[in-house]
Amino acid sequence: MKKDENVEIIKAGLEQLDLVTELFDKYRIFYEQPSNLSEGKKFIRERMEQGQSVIFLAIEKQESTDIPLGFVQLYPTFSSVNLAKRWILNDLYVDQLARRRGVAKGLMQKAKEYAVDTGAIELSLETAADNTNAQHLYEWLGYEKDEKHFYYHLSLD
């Protein structure tokens, strides 16, 4: 897929909070959660203000307006065994109207560049077993499916 020259990927800050919130709400709806713009905005604002995540935002500039196309959110973590930083690519979403334009690929590449620039040894992610479109993209970009480990989760709610 050819790179869309009209798309710019920026590190989102509080000045882009409303743009990110709009996409974040659509992302949550995609994962069968009810729309909740106010709580989503609060969640994203807290991550930004407390430096708990890094968000890259794909935008298209049209006249004096920035149109949000997609975002990726990274959370930092560390490997005790390797004594090193890692990043978790926790959220990736591209608006339905912007798909097939290379936006997801661009966001994934930006996330990788950021991980490398911050000295991380790994960038990891997980996706639903039936999300084959995403799996194809991840594998095309060089991500490898972990066949050696089991992951367990304990629900605390």
Q: Is residue 149 part of a domain?
A: no
Q: Is residue 104 part of a domain?
A: yes
Q: Is residue 152 part of a domain?
A: no
Q: Is residue 148 part of a domain?
A: no
Asked if residue 134 lies in contact with residue 99, where contact means CB atoms within 8 angstroms, the answer is no
Q: Is residue 96 part of a domain?
A: yes
Asked if residue 25 lies in contact with residue 37, where contact means CB atoms within 8 angstroms, the answer is yes
pLDDT one-digit tens code per residue, 20-52: 999 999 999 999 999 999 999 999 999 999 999
Count of domains observed in the chain = 1
Which one-letter amino acid corresponds to residue 78?
F
Q: What is the mean pLDDT of residues 117-138?
A: 91
Cα angle: 48, vertex 27, 76; to 5 degrees:
40
Q: Is residue 73 part of a domain?
A: yes
Q: What is the mean pLDDT of residues 140-157?
A: 86
User: What DSSP line would sit under the chain, residue for residue?
Assistant: ----TTEEEEE--GGGHHHHHHHHHHHHHHTTPPP-HHHHHHHHHHHHHTT--EEEEEEEEETTEEEEEEEEEEEEEEETTTTEEEEEEEEEEE-GGGTTSSHHHHHHHHHHHHHHHTT-SEEE----TT-HHHHHHHHHTT-----S---------
Q: Is residue 147 part of a domain?
A: no
Its pTM stands at 0.91
Domain region containing 81: 7-140
Half-sphere exposure of 141 toward its Cβ, with a 13 Å CA cutoff?
A: 22
Chain mean pLDDT for the chain: 92
Which one-letter amino acid corresponds to residue 49?
E
User: Any idea how long the chain is?
Assistant: 157
pLDDT one-digit tens code per residue, 75-113: 999 999 999 999 999 999 999 999 989 999 999 999 999
Closest by CA to 69, choosing from 26, 127, 123, is 26
Domain containing residue 42: CATH number: 3.40.630.30
